Structure 1
Amino acid sequence: MTAHDDRWLLRTDTTTYAVTLGGDGRWAELAAWGPHGAEDGPSPLERSRRTHFITPADTAPAEYIPYGLRPFTGADLIASRPGGDRGSWWRFTGAAQDQDRALRLEFTDDLLGLRTTLHYRTVPGTDVVLRWTELTCTGETEVRLERFDSAAVNVPVQGGARLTYLAGQWSQEFQLKDVRLERGRFETESTQGSAGHAYHPWLAIQDAAAPAEGATPTYGIALEWSGNWRITADAEPGGSVRVRAGRVPHEGAVRLAPGATLVTPRLACAFSPDGLGGLARVWHRYERHLTGARIDRPRKVLYNSWEATGFDVDAAGQLELARTAAELGAELFVVDDGWFTGRPDDRGGLGDWDPDPAEFPGGFDRFVEDVRALGLDFGLWVEPEGISPRSGLYAEHPEWVYRIDGRPATLVRNQLLLDLGREDVQDFVTGTLDRLLDSHAVSYLKWDMNRPPTERGRPGHPAGPDPELHDLDAAHVAGYLRVLDHLRTAHPHVTVEGCAGGGARVEHATLARTDVVWPSDNTAPLDRLRIQYGYLHAHAPHTMSSWVTDAPGIFDPRPRSLAFRFVSSLTGVLGIGADIRRWTPEQRAEAARWIARYKEIRDVVHHGEVHLLGSPEDPTCGIQYEEPGSARLVVAAWNTGPLDGAPLVPGRAARLRLRGLRPDAVYADTATGIRYSGAHLLHSGLPFAWTAERDAELTVLARQ
C-alpha cells in the first residue's frame, strides 16, 4: 500500500497524484499532481491556516467537501433531510488502497445518515485518473441531494489561470475558446439532456502567463455523462483554481431512500507537461483504451446518401449512388433518413421502423443484397428516441412520450421524444434494433437524436407524483447506455455511429460504446476544419467521422478545392456525402485517388501520436500523425489564407515545423523521394508551395 500515515499516492504511466487528509482529518486534500517525483517536496497548494471571514475548509484544496464544512466558496455536495436544514458535517471513517492504482476514502455523517465514498482509479497505459463518488443513505430517513458533483480538481496556478474550453452552437460545435480567470467563477453547462452543442463537458487549465503549447504544465478534466451536466471553476483565495464537475438532475434535486446508493458519473482527470497538444495526446490514448479491441477494426470508407437524396429514398436511386460509390473505392453504403414507412418528410414515420415497401418494390432484402453485391457493407440511419405524432407507435403508446399533464407539447423537428428511462420503452427500442439487425444484413448503424427533451414529465408513472423521485435525466441516460451495451453484446459485428443533430452527444460514456461519432452537421470546408481542430483537442481521430460533401460555407463561405475537403476528412474517419452522380469524371478520378491514399495511411491516423501544427486561424496549418514505432509520419496541411494561394512572402513556400522527431534521423517523402533531416523538419519545417489550384496536401514521410 503506497501510503504513509494520512497520505496516499496514485501513479499513472508518467504522473503521480497524491492525496492527504486535511482539517484535522475532516476532509481529503490534494497534495501534489504532476510528473513522477512532483510529490517529493512541499505541496504547491500549501497555505496559511489563518483565515478571516471564511473557514479553513473554504481555502483548502479539498478533493470533495460538503456544504456545512465549506459554506462560502463552493461545495461539491449539498445534502439535507426533506424539510431540514442543508449541510453535512462528516468525519473520516476509513481508507482502502489497491497498490498505487486504486483508492477509496470514506466519510460519514451519522446525524444526516449519509456515507460518502470517494473513488480513485488509474487507467493502465495512460496518464488519466478516474474519480467518482458514491453516496449511501445510512439512516432511516431519506436524504435530499441538491448538488452531488463527481469530484473537484485543484490546480496550483501562478498569476491566474487560462481556462480552455469548447463552445459553439448547432453547425458550429467544438470551437476552441479560452478565458483568463484571476478571481471569480467560470461556469459552463448543458440542460438539454445531452452534452449539448453550446458547451462540451471538457476543460483544460494552465497558468495564464504561460504559452498554451510547449513545455507548459496542463491539467484537464472530462465528464463521462450523456445527460445534463455542469462544470464550475473558481479562482479561490490563495491563488489556486478549483474545478468541480458533475451531473445536474432535471428536477433540481434527488431523494436518496434509506439503504440506497447513488453513484456519480466518472470524471477523467488528465495531466501533461507539454501544453494543450500534449494534453490532447493523453486524451487520445485514453479513448483508444475506451475503444478496447475494436480499435483494431479498420474504419471503413463510408458513403452516406443524405446529402444526395434527403428524404427522397428509393431503391433505384440508392443503387445508382451505391454503384458510383463502389467505383470510387468506398467500402460501406449507409441509407440515411427516409427509408421507413410514413417518412416522405420530417413530419411522420419515427417509431414505425419498417422499410417502406413502396420505395423498395423488389423487397428490402433484395435491395440490401444488391448493395452488398457491389462489394459494399450496408448500414442504416435510425433515431430510436424520436417519435412522430402521426406514427402508429404514438397512436398505440402516447404514454411513452415525455409530457406534462394539461400542458402543450413542443415539437422540435416536428417530433417528440420517447422517455427512454422507462423499461418498456427500452425493451421496445432493443427489440426494434434486434429485429432490424437480425432480419437484414446490416453491419453499420447510425444512431441520431435530433431534439432535446422539453416538457420532461412522466405523469401517472408508478413512481408517484413527486418529480424528485423520478430523476428523469439519469433514467434516460441509463436507458440509452443500456441499449448501447445491448448492441455491443448482441451485435458485436455492427459498427455503431453516435450522432445527435451533429455533435451534441460526444462524451466518454458514448465514445466507450460507439465506434465513431459525428462532430457536426456542418461539412463546409473551412467551417469543418475549425470544428475538427477543436474536436481533436479533446477526442481521438479514430472516433471522428468526417465527410467530403459539396456543402458551401455557412460561417466562412470562401470556396476550397475537392482536395482540401478530402485532406480534411481523411484526418479522421473518411466518409463521402456528396451527390457523386453530379461529379465530373475528373472529380471522380481524383476522389478515387484520395480514397486509395486514405486506405494506405488510416492505421497511422487512427493509432498514431498527433501533433496539431498551428490553427485554422493561421495562413497555413496542419496535423502530424506519427506511426507507433516512428516508421512513418503523415502530415495533412491546408492553406487557409488568401483565395489566390499567394504565400505571405512572394516566391517563398509556406512551412510547417514538425514536432517530436529525432533530429539525427532522416525522413524521406514517399511520393517525391526528397530527404529531410529531423533537425531540418523541426527547425525549418516542411515546405508547401500553395497556388490557387493547390490549397491542401498530404505528405507521407518514411524514417530511413
Structure 2
Amino acid sequence: MTPHDRWILRTENTTYAVALATEGPWAELTAWGPHGAETGPSPLDWSGRTHFITPADAAPAEYIPYGLRPFTGADLVAQRPGEERGVWWTFSPEHTETADDTLRLVFDDEVLGLRVALCYEAVPGTDVILRWSELTCTGEDELRLERFDSAAVNVPVTAGARLTFLTGQWVQEFQRTELELTRGRFEMASTQAVPGHAYAPWLAVQDAAHPADGKTPTYGVALEWSGNWHITTDAEPGGAVRIRAGRLPHEGAVRLAPGATLTTPRLACAFSPEGIDGLARVWHRYERHLTGDRMNRTRKVLYNSWEATGFDVEAGSQLELARIAAGLGAELFVVDDGWFSGRHDDTGGLGDWYPDPAAFPQGFDHFIREVRSLGMDFGIWVEPEAISPKSALHSEHPEWVYRVEGRPATLVRNQLLLDLGREDVQDFVITTLDRLLTDHAISYLKWDMNRPPTERGRPGGGPVEKQDLDAAHVAGYLRVLDHLRAHHPHVTVEGCAGGGARIEHATIARTDVVWPSDNTAPLDRLAIQFGYLLAHAPHTMSSWVTDAPGVFDPRPRSLGFRFVNAIAGVLGIGADIRTWSPEQRTEAARWIARYKEIRDVIHHGEIHLLNTPADATCGIQYEEPGGGRIAVTAWNTGRLDGAPLVSGRAARMRLRGIDPAGRYHDAASDTEYTGAHLLHSGMPFPWTDQYDAELTVLTRL
C-alpha cells in the first residue's frame, strides 16, 4: 500500500484513518480513536473470516454498494429503472481531493453512469468528523436510488457492542435505553417526516466488555436530518460492528436525472475516551460550534401563558400575567396558541395568521407596547406548516395541502399539513412571518408542528419517485429558517414539534432553543432532560417551571425542585402565576435572580452528569471555561434517609473532573472544600421532605 492509499483526519483529540482496501475497490476504516491510534495493525481487520461470504461483506468498509457487497448490508442500492440492481465501481484517484481538514474520495461506475464521492470534514475545535456522500448521474439514463445512506461507521469492539440510544413517545421523550448486540441487527427509524418522539437520530456505541461509564472509549453518531431517517447497527459475522445511517425517502426510492447530484445529510461522528458522559461533552462543544456567534446572546428568562390560559387569550388576563411575570424577574413574555383570529379551540384559525381583534380590542400593537413597557420582550407561538380545514387559507388554496387524489383526508389535532416542499407554500410562510415580525415588535418566535403527514401526496406533481416529498419538505423548512436568520437576526427562534419530535443538528443550527417535551411534570421532566443532555447542549434546552402534576411519576415536588430543574437549561415559567401565594412569588424571584447570576456557566460550561434520575440523589455539574466557577444542580428523587422523623446523614454526591489540589468556596453556606474532598467524599445535601433540590455555586480560590 502506497502512502497515497491512506488518509488521516485529525480533530482536536482524535484520529480518523481511512485506507483503500487491498481486496477490492472500496475504502476501509483502519483507526478511530485518540491520537496515535493509527499506528500498529488495524483493530478492524477481519480479513480471512469470509467463509461463504465475500471479502467485501466482511470488510470495515466506509461506504459500499450492493453489487460489491451482496450479503451483509450495503449503503447504496442503485439501478437503471427496469434493470438489475447493483453498482460495481472503481476508485478514481484523479478526482480525489485532500486538504488538512477535509477528504473527498471518488468512485465511478462508468457502465451504470454513477459517480460517488465520499466526503469528510474534521470540525475545528471539536472531536467531530462529518461524513456525507454525493451521488452524481454521469450517464445518459436516469437512475433509481433505492438506498443512499450518508455513511457507514465501523466500531472496534471485542465482545459485542453496548448500544445507548434515546427512546420514548409523546411526553416521554429522550429516555436513556441500553442494548447489548452480539449478533444480528438493530434499527431505529422514523417515517413521520420529522425525527419523531420514538427515537432520536443519535447513537452511542461501546465495547460490551467494558463498563458503561467511566474511562470507557465511546463512539457516537448523530444524523443531521429533519425528515425520515434510519440508523442501522449490524453485529456482523467475524465480530465487526457496523453502523449505517441516512434518510428514508417517502416514496421508497428516488430518481436521479442525468447530470444531477444528490447530496445526502451529514452524519456527525464523535469519539470520547471518557464514556457516555465524555461523549456528551463532545456533542455539547459541537453544538456550541453550530450556534456560532449567537452563543454570545443571553438566553432570556421566559414566561409563556399557555398553561395559564390555554386558548382563552385576551389582553386583560395576558397583561395581568405579564405584570406578575415582570415582577418575578422574567425578561420575555410569550403568548402561545390562541392569539390569532378563529382560534378559540383547536378546530380553526391555523393558516390565517392575523391577531384576533376581539382578543386585543385596543389593537395588538397597543398590547405589545404594554408588555414591553414592563421591561420584557414579546413573543408569539406559530405553527406555519399546519392549516385548519375551516380557515380562509384552505378555502383559497386547497391544493397546498398534502393529499392523495380521490382518497379521504385524515385529521390529526383537527388540522391538515401544508406541503412545505412547494415553493409557493414556502413563499407564503416567509411572507406571513415577514409581515408579523416587521409589522409588530416581536422578538421571539416559537415554531411548533403538531402532526405528521398522513396522506402524503402531491397530485399533479409527476411520478412519485421524482417528487422526493420528504427531502422537499425538509428543504422548505430549512429555507424558511434560514430566511428568518438572515432577515430577522434579532428574533429568537424556538423549535418545537409536539414537544421533542424534531430535534437534530439541522434544526439546532438554525434555532436558538428547542422544546424537549410537552411534559413539564417535575420528576418526568428530570428524566427527559438527563437523556436530552446526553445528546444536546444545555444552551439549547428550553425548560419551564409549571404546576403540572406528574404524568408518569405523580410524586409531588417542591417549587424549588421545579426551579432547579428548569435552571439546568434555559429557564422559563409556564405556571398560572396568578394563583401563586406571595411566599411562592418571593421564592420564585429569588430563584430567577440566582439563575441570572450563573446562566453563563450553565450555557457555556463543560458538564458532568452525576448519577441518574433512577438514583435517590442525582445532579448536573457545570464548570465555567477556565474553571473559575462550578454550578451544581442537585435533586432528591427518592426516599429520604430517616428525615423528617429522625435525623439522617446528608446524601453525598461526588463531583467529577475537577482539580484535586484546588480549593473551592460555597458562599451560600460559607464552606470551603478541597477538590480531593469533592471528588472522593462528595458534596453533602441534607435532604428533607421540604428541601429536595439545590443549586450550589462553587468559586475556585
Q: TM-score, normalised by structure 2?
A: 0.99
Tell me, in whole angstroms, the C-alpha distance in 2 between the residues paired with 1:648 and 1:20. 67
The alpha-carbon distance between structure 1 residues 87 and 207, as it changes in their structure 2 partners (threshold 3 A), is: same
Tell me, in whole angstroms, the C-alpha distance in 2 between the residues paired with 1:645 and 1:367. 53
1:26 matched to 2:25: yes
Once the two structures are TM-superposed, the CA of residue 568 in structure 1 deviates from its matched residue by 0.5
Whether the aligned pair in 1 keeps the contact of 2:145 and 2:253 (CA below 8 Å) is yes
| Structure 2 partner of 1:562 | 559
AA aligned opposite 1:291: T
Once the two structures are TM-superposed, the CA of residue 645 in structure 1 deviates from its matched residue by 7.5
Whether the aligned pair in 2 keeps the contact of 1:645 and 1:692 (CA below 8 Å) is no
Tell me, in whole angstroms, the C-alpha distance in 2 between the residues paired with 1:659 and 1:30. 33
Whether the aligned pair in 2 keeps the contact of 1:558 and 1:643 (CA below 8 Å) is no
1:546 matched to 2:504: no
Tell me, in whole angstroms, the C-alpha distance in 1 between the residues paired with 2:648 and 2:444. 48
Task: Write the mapping of 1:54-453 to structure 2, written as runs, cut at 5 A.
Answer: 54-94=53-93, 96-453=96-453
Tell me, in whole angstroms, the C-alpha distance in 2 between the residues paired with 1:157 and 1:342. 58
Whether the aligned pair in 2 keeps the contact of 1:644 and 1:692 (CA below 8 Å) is no
The alpha-carbon distance between structure 1 residues 574 and 498, as it changes in their structure 2 partners (threshold 3 A), is: same
Tell me, in whole angstroms, the C-alpha distance in 2 between the residues paired with 1:238 and 1:649. 59
Tell me, in whole angstroms, the C-alpha distance in 2 between the residues paired with 1:703 and 1:611. 17
AA aligned opposite 2:287: E
- Indicate the SS of the match to 1:163: strand
Tell me, in whole angstroms, the C-alpha distance in 2 between the residues paired with 1:162 and 1:52. 26
AA aligned opposite 2:41: P
Once the two structures are TM-superposed, the CA of residue 209 in structure 1 deviates from its matched residue by 2.4
Identity within the alignment, %: 77
| Structure 2 partner of 1:530 | 527
Tell me, in whole angstroms, the C-alpha distance in 2 between the residues paired with 1:98 and 1:217. 28
| Structure 2 partner of 1:44 | 43
Once the two structures are TM-superposed, the CA of residue 116 in structure 1 deviates from its matched residue by 0.3
AA aligned opposite 1:86: R
Whether the aligned pair in 1 keeps the contact of 2:641 and 2:648 (CA below 8 Å) is no
Match of residue 477, structure 2, among 477, 480, 491: 480
- Indicate the SS of the match to 2:92: strand
Tell me, in whole angstroms, the C-alpha distance in 2 between the residues paired with 1:648 and 1:580. 33
Whether the aligned pair in 1 keeps the contact of 2:47 and 2:55 (CA below 8 Å) is no
The alpha-carbon distance between structure 1 residues 429 and 12, as it changes in their structure 2 partners (threshold 3 A), is: same
Deviation string 1:471-517 (CA, Å, 9 cap, x unpaired) is 00000000000000000000000000000000000000000000000
Once the two structures are TM-superposed, the CA of residue 49 in structure 1 deviates from its matched residue by 3.1
Once the two structures are TM-superposed, the CA of residue 646 in structure 1 deviates from its matched residue by 3.7
Whether the aligned pair in 2 keeps the contact of 1:647 and 1:653 (CA below 8 Å) is no
Once the two structures are TM-superposed, the CA of residue 48 in structure 1 deviates from its matched residue by 2.6
The alpha-carbon distance between structure 1 residues 334 and 238, as it changes in their structure 2 partners (threshold 3 A), is: same
Once the two structures are TM-superposed, the CA of residue 642 in structure 1 deviates from its matched residue by 2.1
AA aligned opposite 2:587: E
- Indicate the SS of the match to 2:326: helix
Between the two proteins, the alignment pairs up a number of residues equal to 699
- Indicate the SS of the match to 1:5: helix
Once the two structures are TM-superposed, the CA of residue 581 in structure 1 deviates from its matched residue by 0.2
Once the two structures are TM-superposed, the CA of residue 5 in structure 1 deviates from its matched residue by 2.7
AA aligned opposite 1:409: A
AA aligned opposite 1:5: H
| Structure 1 partner of 2:493 | 496
1:517 matched to 2:531: no
| Structure 1 partner of 2:636 | 639
Once the two structures are TM-superposed, the CA of residue 99 in structure 1 deviates from its matched residue by 3.4
Whether the aligned pair in 2 keeps the contact of 1:62 and 1:152 (CA below 8 Å) is yes
Q: Which moved more, 1:47-56 or 1:69-78?
A: 47-56
Whether the aligned pair in 1 keeps the contact of 2:412 and 2:451 (CA below 8 Å) is yes
Tell me, in whole angstroms, the C-alpha distance in 1 between the residues paired with 2:433 and 2:182. 51
Tell me, in whole angstroms, the C-alpha distance in 1 between the residues paired with 2:561 and 2:607. 19
Whether the aligned pair in 2 keeps the contact of 1:132 and 1:151 (CA below 8 Å) is yes
Question: Where does structure 2 lack aligned partners over 5 or more consecutive residues?
Answer: none
| Structure 2 partner of 1:581 | 578
Deviation string 1:380-418 (CA, Å, 9 cap, x unpaired) is 000000000000000000000000011110000000000
Whether the aligned pair in 1 keeps the contact of 2:46 and 2:240 (CA below 8 Å) is no
Tell me, in whole angstroms, the C-alpha distance in 2 between the residues paired with 1:215 and 1:678. 20
The alpha-carbon distance between structure 1 residues 60 and 475, as it changes in their structure 2 partners (threshold 3 A), is: same
- Indicate the SS of the match to 2:187: strand
Deviation string 1:158-208 (CA, Å, 9 cap, x unpaired) is 111100000000000000001000000000000000010000100000011
AA aligned opposite 2:346: D
| Structure 1 partner of 2:505 | 508
Tell me, in whole angstroms, the C-alpha distance in 2 between the residues paired with 1:372 and 1:427. 30
Tell me, in whole angstroms, the C-alpha distance in 1 between the residues paired with 2:391 and 2:671. 62
Question: Where does structure 1 lack aligned partners over 5 or more consecutive residues?
Answer: none
AA aligned opposite 1:664: A
Once the two structures are TM-superposed, the CA of residue 644 in structure 1 deviates from its matched residue by 8.5
Tell me, in whole angstroms, the C-alpha distance in 2 between the residues paired with 1:650 and 1:185. 52
1:696 matched to 2:693: yes
Deviation string 1:106-142 (CA, Å, 9 cap, x unpaired) is 0000111100000000101000000000000000001
Once the two structures are TM-superposed, the CA of residue 96 in structure 1 deviates from its matched residue by 3.7
1:14 matched to 2:13: yes
AA aligned opposite 2:476: G
Once the two structures are TM-superposed, the CA of residue 240 in structure 1 deviates from its matched residue by 1.8
| Structure 1 partner of 2:460 | 460
The alpha-carbon distance between structure 1 residues 50 and 167, as it changes in their structure 2 partners (threshold 3 A), is: closer
Whether the aligned pair in 1 keeps the contact of 2:49 and 2:58 (CA below 8 Å) is no
Once the two structures are TM-superposed, the CA of residue 605 in structure 1 deviates from its matched residue by 0.2
Once the two structures are TM-superposed, the CA of residue 616 in structure 1 deviates from its matched residue by 0.1
Tell me, in whole angstroms, the C-alpha distance in 1 between the residues paired with 2:172 and 2:547. 17
Deviation string 1:250-275 (CA, Å, 9 cap, x unpaired) is 00000000000000000000000000
1:673 matched to 2:670: yes
Whether the aligned pair in 2 keeps the contact of 1:645 and 1:695 (CA below 8 Å) is no
AA aligned opposite 1:407: R
Once the two structures are TM-superposed, the CA of residue 223 in structure 1 deviates from its matched residue by 0.1
Tell me, in whole angstroms, the C-alpha distance in 2 between the residues paired with 1:107 and 1:309. 59
1:597 matched to 2:606: no
AA aligned opposite 2:71: F
Tell me, in whole angstroms, the C-alpha distance in 1 between the residues paired with 2:191 and 2:110. 33
AA aligned opposite 1:493: H
